[in-house]
Amino acid sequence: MTQPRQPIDKILEALQERAKELNCLYQVDEQINRPDAPPDDVFRGILEVIPTGYQYPGVCRARLVVDDLVYQGPGFQETAWVQRAEIVVQGIVLGRVEVYYTQAMPRSDEGPFLREERKLIEAIAERIGHHLAQRRLRGAIQGRQAVEGGAGAAPERDWWVIVDFLRHTDRQLLIRLARKMLNHLCLNGVDEAHQLLQRFAPQRESEVQGPQDDNRPVQKKTPEDLLALTDETFRIAARHLQVEDILSRMEGWIKGDKSSFLLEALERPATTLTDVAEAIQRFRFVGVNERDLTRSMQIALRAGLVRRFFSDEQGFVNTAKNYVEVSDFYDLTPRIICPASGHGKLGGKSAGLIVAAKIVQQAREYAELLADLRVPRTWYITSDGVLDFVQYNHLEDVYDRKYLELDQIRREYPHIVQVFKNSHFSPEIAKGLSQCLGDLAGGPIIVRSSSLLEDRMGAAFSGKYKSLFLANLGTPQERLAALQDAIAEVYASIFAPDPIEYRAERGLLDQHEEMGIMIQQVVGTRVGDYFLPAFSGVAFSRNEFRWSARIRRDDGLLRLVPGLGTRAVDRLGDDYPVLVAPGQPGLRVNVSPDEVLRYSPTMVDAINLCTRSFETAPLRQLLRSHGNEYPQITDIVSVVQDDAIREPLHLDFAGDDLVVTFDGLVSRTPFILQMRTLLKLLQDRLGVPVDLEFAHDGRHLYLLQCRAQSSAAETAPALIPADLPRERVLFTANRYVSNGRVPDLTHIVYVDPAAYGRLEDLAALKEVARIVGKLNKRLPRRRFILMGPGRWGSRGDIKLGVAVTYSEINNTAILVEVARKEGHYVPDVSFGTHFFQDLVEASIRYLPLYPDEPENVLNEGFLLESPNLLPQLLPEHADLAGTVRVIDVPRASGGLVLRVLMNGEEDRAAAVLVAP
C-alpha cells in the first residue's frame, strides 16, 4: 500500500523524526546495559530518555510500571493523550510503559502520536522485557548458589537451576531443550536414552520400511507426561555427561533457540528483506554472540544471509558463508535500500566486494601488510529496485521494447533515458536515498550497477551498464535530485541496445533483468578544482597479456593510471595505462626512454568540483598549477632530462618535463608487494582468478571491486575440441599461449619466413613492410590474421622480422610470429613488444608458433598453395607474391572461416577451419 507522494521537504522532515527515535532507542539500550546499576536507577534513566524520541519532547512525560512498582517523574499527571505498551516476559505481562502528552497536540496517526512512535514504545517495552528476564535468571542462579553455599560452590547445580527456571517460565523451550538433550544422548549411544526416546515418540518397526505408514498420526503426549520425560532426560544426562558439557550444550541450544527466529526469517521465502533486516537488528539486541552458537547453526545463518542478501548462486554461497558473519550485517542492513515488500538481492558486484573485504580482514598472517586496506563507504539498492521503479511509474511498456529490431532500439534508446530520468522513485526508496546522502555527505560519489545477470553470465557483460560519477555538491535537494537522476539513467541502460543484443543472442531476453545499485564514496582528495585519487587501477591475478617469456600467468597484471580508474578499466583510444606484473615488477614492458614516453598516460579522469561534472584533463597542466597538492606525486612521475628518465629527488612542476612511470611506487613503496599478496590471497580463498579495481588517495589503499576474472569473454580460455580433423587444422601451438578466441577470420596474410629470408636486397625487404601496411588498410577490419617471421616491427635488423610500424598492422585480429629453427637454435620472438601496449589497448591477440617442435602443426600446404590474392589487390607489388601471400579463406576452403582457439590454462592453441 503506497503512501501518496510527499514532496521532498516532508520526507526530509520525516527523516529527522526517525533519527530522533533511533537515538532514543540507543539511549534506552545504554541505560539497560549499564552493568552494575541497580534496577531503580536504570528505570529512572529510561524515563528521562524516552521523551527525547517523541515529536514534542517539551510536553512529553513517561511512566513505567514494573512488577507493580511505579516509576514516574516528579509532578507527573495522567492525561487523556497517552500511548501505552505492555512489558511481556515469556508470555506474562509484567508491567507497562506509558507516554503522556501534558497538553493537546496536533492529531497524527494514533491520537497525537506518530505510527513510528508506536513502534518506538513497543521496542522499548520489548527491551525492558528482555532485561527483566535476564535479571530474573541471574537472580535465580545467585539465589540457588546462596542456598548451596556461594557462587561456584556447586556448578553442577547451575543447570538444574536453569531447568527449574524454565519449568516455571517457558515450558515449551524446556521441552525443546530436553528433546535436544535426548537426541544428543542417543547419538552418543546411551541405551537408557534410546528407551526414553521411544516414549517421546513411539517407534514402530514398520516405520523403517514403507512410505505407507508415514501418514498415520503420532500419539499426542499430554503436557504432564512431557514434563516428567524432561526430568527423566536430564537425570540421565547428569549420569552420563560431564557438567561442563551439559552447561555448554544447553547454553548453545538456548542461544540457538533465541536465534531461531532469525533462521526462520531467512528460510521462509515470504519474509521481505525489510523483515529480515529487522530480524537481524533484533538478533543484535538479543545479546547472543554468534560464536557461541553451534557450528551448524552459525553456518546455516550465514548461508541463509548470503543467499538472501547477496546471491543464490551456489558456488558463491559456498565460499561466502565461510567468511561473512552475522555481525557484518548489523552495519550493512541499515545501508540497504529496498522496496517495502522486497525480495531483491544486492547482486554479485556488491557481494564480491563485501566478501573480499572479509577475506582480507580475516587473513591474520598478512595483517600488517594489508592493515591499510580499506573499502569505501557504500550504500546499496536491491535488485528489485528497478522493478519497483518501473512499476511505480507505470513503465511496464518498456519491457516490450527489447523485442524490437536492434536499429529501432538504438534509435529510441535516448527517449527511454529521458523518460526514466523524468520519472520518480517510490517513497521508500526516496527516503532511503536521502538517508544515504546524509551518510555520504562531504565528497563525490559513484553510482554503479550490480546486476544479477552479470553474475550468472559472467562479466562478458561488464561495461555494458553505466557507472556515473556525481560531485554530490549543493543543497540537499540538488544532491538528491542528481542522485535520483543518475540512478534512473543507470536503470535505463538495461534497455540499451548493447545489453539487449547480448541477451537476445543468448536467449535471455525474456527474463526481467534485475539490477542492484551500489552508491559508493569516491576515493580521492582535492587537487585544485578537481577531486581525484592519487592513482587507481585494475589488478588481475592471471596475466593474459605477457610481454616476455619470463613472465608467468600467475605473476598477474596491474594497469595503473593517475586519477580515477575509469582510464584503467576502459580501453583508451589515445592514452595508455602503465603495465606492471606484480610477480615480476622488474620486467617492464617499456624499457627505452622513447618507449616509456610513448606509452605513458598523459590524461587523468577526475571530478571537476566547480562544474560538478566528470572530466578528462591533461595531467601536466594540473601539475603545473597544483602539483604540490597532488598526493604521492613523486612516486608517480619521473623527470625527463636529455632523453634520460630519472626518479626525481625534487620536482619543479613549472619547468620540469614530467612523465608518468610509477617508478617510485614500484621501487620505493610496499605497494607491489601488497597487490601481489592481495591477489594471491583472494585467488586462493575464492578458488578462481580474480580481477580487482582499486584506488589510492595518498594515505590508504582502497578496494573498489572484486570479481572472478575468467568470466570476461576476452580472457576466458577457449575450449579446444579433442579430435580435430587434420586437414582442417591450420596450425597448433603449445608455448606462451594466452587465453582467447578469435572467431570468423576471412583472410590470411602470410609472409613466408623462408622466402623472406631469401630476399636479395634491402629494397625488397622494406617493400614487404609497405605491402603489409597497404593490406592492413584494405582488408576487412579484425577479420584477418597476420603471420610472419620472427619479430614484427623489428627495428635493429630487418632480416629478423618485417619492419612495420603499428599503423601498418593495427587492423589485424591476431598477430602471429613463426619461429623456425635455424641450425641449433630457435630465434627469440618479440611478444609484440615493439608495440605491445598498442596491441593490448586494441585487443589484438598475439601468438608465437614453433612449427619445428614435433607436436606442432603448420599447414604450409594450405598457406603456400591456396590462390594468392596479392597480385589482384596490389598489382604494383605482384613481384613479391612469392613472399607475401593473401588468402581468402572461404574461397580457398569451400565456404569455411578460420577460428583461432587459445587456451592458456593448458598452454595450447589451434587454428581451425570451420563453418561460419
Interface contacts to another protein, rule CB under 8 A: 547-550, 573-574, 584, 586-589, 591-593, 597-598, 641-644, 657, 757-766, 791, 795-797, 799-800, 807, 810, 827-828, 830-831, 833, 836
Q: Which is nearer to another protein, 621 or 641 (by Cβ)?
A: 641
- Give the CA count within 13 Å in the CB-facing half-sphere of 631: 19
Cell of 96: 507497562
Q: Phi-psi bin for 843: left (phi > 0), alpha (psi -120 to 50), beta?
A: left
- Cα R_g (the chain), whole angstroms: 35
Single out the residue of 846, 798, 802, 850 nearest to residue 828, CA to CA.
850
CB 25 within 8 A of CB 53: yes
- Rounded Cα distance between 775 and 838, Å, is 19
Q: Which is nearer to another protein, 51 or 801 (by Cβ)?
A: 801
For 633, phi and psi rounded to 5 degrees? -65, -30
- Give the CA count within 13 Å in the CB-facing half-sphere of 764: 16
Please tell me what DSSP assigns to residue 780.
P
- Rounded Cα distance between 524 and 604, Å, is 13
What does DSSP say about strands 535-540 and 530-532: parallel, antiparallel, or unpaired? unpaired
Q: Which is nearer to another protein, 150 or 586 (by Cβ)?
A: 586
Q: Which amino acid type is present at position 502?
A: Y
Q: Which is nearer to another protein, 587 or 724 (by Cβ)?
A: 587
Instruction: State the minimum distance, in angstroms, from the CB of residue 547 to another protein.
Output: 6
Instruction: State the minimum distance, in angstroms, from the CB of residue 770 to another protein.
Output: 8
Q: Which is nearer to another protein, 127 or 588 (by Cβ)?
A: 588
Strand, helix or coil at 705? strand
Q: Which is nearer to another protein, 103 or 621 (by Cβ)?
A: 621
- Rounded Cα distance between 63 and 50, Å, is 9
Single out the residue of 269, 252, 116 nearest to residue 176, CA to CA.
252
Q: Which is nearer to another protein, 748 or 765 (by Cβ)?
A: 765
Instruction: State the minimum distance, in angstroms, from the CB of residue 903 to another protein.
Output: 24
CB 389 within 8 A of CB 512: no
Burial of 284 (0-12, 13-18, 19+ CB in 10 A): middle
Instruction: State the minimum distance, in angstroms, from the CB of residue 689 to another protein.
Output: 23
Q: Which is nearer to another protein, 31 or 883 (by Cβ)?
A: 883
Instruction: State the minimum distance, in angstroms, from the CB of residue 849 to another protein.
Output: 17
Instruction: State the minimum distance, in angstroms, from the CB of residue 827 to another protein.
Output: 6
Cell of 84: 501505552
What does DSSP say about strands 378-381 and 92-101: parallel, antiparallel, or unpaired? unpaired
Burial of 15 (0-12, 13-18, 19+ CB in 10 A): middle
Instruction: Name every residue whose Cβ is closer than 8 Å to that of residue 85 and which is 6 or more positions away in sequence.
Output: 96, 97, 118, 121, 122, 124, 125
Single out the residue of 829, 847, 841, 830 nearest to residue 901, CA to CA.
847
Q: Which is nearer to another protein, 595 or 906 (by Cβ)?
A: 595
CB 764 within 8 A of CB 757: no
Q: Phi-psi bin for 139: left (phi > 0), alpha (psi -120 to 50), beta?
A: alpha
Instruction: State the minimum distance, in angstroms, from the CB of residue 642 to another protein.
Output: 5
Cα 238 off chain centre by:
50
Q: Which is nearer to another protein, 93 or 878 (by Cβ)?
A: 878
Q: Which is nearer to another protein, 721 or 780 (by Cβ)?
A: 780
Single out the residue of 385, 519, 348 nearest to residue 447, CA to CA.
519
Q: Which is nearer to another protein, 250 or 759 (by Cβ)?
A: 759
CA-angle at 541, arms to 537 and 544, nearest 5°: 90
Instruction: State the minimum distance, in angstroms, from the CB of residue 532 to another protein.
Output: 23
List strands edge to edge, sheet with 82-89: 69-72, 60-66, 92-101, 82-89
Instruction: State the minimum distance, in angstroms, from the CB of residue 615 to another protein.
Output: 18
Instruction: State the minimum distance, in angstroms, from the CB of residue 766 to another protein.
Output: 6
C-alpha distance from residue 608 to each of 319, 363, 445, 475, 529 (Å): 40, 38, 13, 17, 6
Q: Which is nearer to another protein, 98 or 808 (by Cβ)?
A: 808
- Rounded Cα distance between 525 and 200, Å, is 68
Q: Which is nearer to another protein, 335 or 799 (by Cβ)?
A: 799
Q: Which is nearer to another protein, 810 or 843 (by Cβ)?
A: 810
Instruction: State the minimum distance, in angstroms, from the CB of residue 781 to another protein.
Output: 13
Instruction: State the minimum distance, in angstroms, from the CB of residue 865 to another protein.
Output: 23
Residues β-bridged to residue 846? 815
Instruction: State the minimum distance, in angstroms, from the CB of residue 782 to another protein.
Output: 16
Instruction: State the minimum distance, in angstroms, from the CB of residue 873 to another protein.
Output: 18
Q: Which is nearer to another protein, 698 or 757 (by Cβ)?
A: 757
Instruction: State the minimum distance, in angstroms, from the CB of residue 654 to another protein.
Output: 15
Instruction: State the minimum distance, in angstroms, from the CB of residue 400 to another protein.
Output: 42
- Rounded Cα distance between 168 and 226, Å, is 14
Q: Which is nearer to another protein, 301 or 765 (by Cβ)?
A: 765
- Rounded Cα distance between 217 and 202, Å, is 11
Q: Which is nearer to another protein, 98 or 838 (by Cβ)?
A: 838
Single out the residue of 273, 256, 265, 262 nearest to residue 310, CA to CA.
273
Instruction: State the minimum distance, in angstroms, from the CB of residue 533 to another protein.
Output: 26
Instruction: State the minimum distance, in angstroms, from the CB of residue 645 to another protein.
Output: 8
CB 813 within 8 A of CB 745: yes
